[in-house]
């Protein structure tokens, strides 16, 4: 297992739809193990394959659900169902390891459920309503569709987010990834 570099906004991998996993190979198992280690090193709630430069349709998560119970797992080939109303709470800040050090209020459905398979090829269903996990499920599936949370922001917050990205100068510095072993998200 190893910590992999995390892609930053502007990296091509974040803009592409992912490919369905047809077979759980040793390479897929290694990718998942590395993603857990990378997510832990970055103190993330979840990590989608494109965030480590992979085009496979899978993500890992490690965050609390609505009952504040830590939930941890992997979902391969997830299908997302959203339920409950769309909520925007100015106090609830959503961030992203691919937009490190920034966070903004993001409208998300109150509940989410994903259906997929685990590393043994067995069906898995992960569900939450009102917790961090519900947001994380929606956020990670967005990554698999080639979309960042910034695209879900209100126009004013989107402008603020894009200004913050520009101010960090990642593009002018040629930064397309960051290494959570070497720096925190806030310092990228």
Which parts are annotated binding residues for Fe cation?
A: 96, 139, 143
Binding residues: 96, 139, 143
Question: What's phi and psi for 104, nearest 5 deg?
Answer: -145, 155
Q: Strands 177-178 and 123-129, how do they pair? A: unpaired
**Angle value at C-alpha 44, between 37 and 54, nearest 5 degrees:** 60
26 catalytic? Reply is no
Does residue 108 contact residue 138 with C-beta atoms inside 8 Å? Answer: yes
Count of helices and strands (H, E) across the chain: 4, 9
Of the residues 140, 145, 151, 186, only one is catalytic, namely 140
* Residue whose C-alpha is closest to residue 54's, from 17, 96, 108: 17
**Residues that are catalytic:** 140
């Amino acid at each position: 297992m190893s910590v992999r570099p995390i892609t930053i906004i502007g990296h091509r991998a974040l803009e592409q739809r992912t490919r369905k996993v047809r077979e759980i190979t040793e390479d897929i198992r290694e990718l998942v193990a590395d993603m857990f280690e990378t997510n832990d090193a970055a103190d993330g709630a979840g990590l989608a394959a494109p965030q480590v430069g992979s085009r496979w349709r899978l993500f890992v998560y490690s965050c609390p659900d609505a009952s504040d119970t830590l939930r941890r797992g992997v979902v391969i080939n997830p299908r997302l169902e959203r339920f409950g109303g769309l909520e925007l709470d100015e106090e609830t800040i959503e961030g992203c390891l691919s937009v490190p050090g920034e966070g903004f209020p993001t409208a998300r459905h109150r509940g989410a459920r994903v259906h997929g398979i685990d590393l043994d090829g067995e069906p898995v269903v992960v569900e939450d309503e009102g917790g961090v996990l519900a947001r994380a499920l929606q956020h990670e599936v967005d990554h698999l569709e080639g979309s960042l949370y910034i695209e879900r922001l209100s126009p004013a917050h989107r402008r603020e987010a894009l200004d913050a990205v520009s101010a960090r100068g990642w593009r002018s510095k040629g930064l397309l990834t960051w290494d959570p072993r070497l720096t925190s998200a806030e310092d990228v």
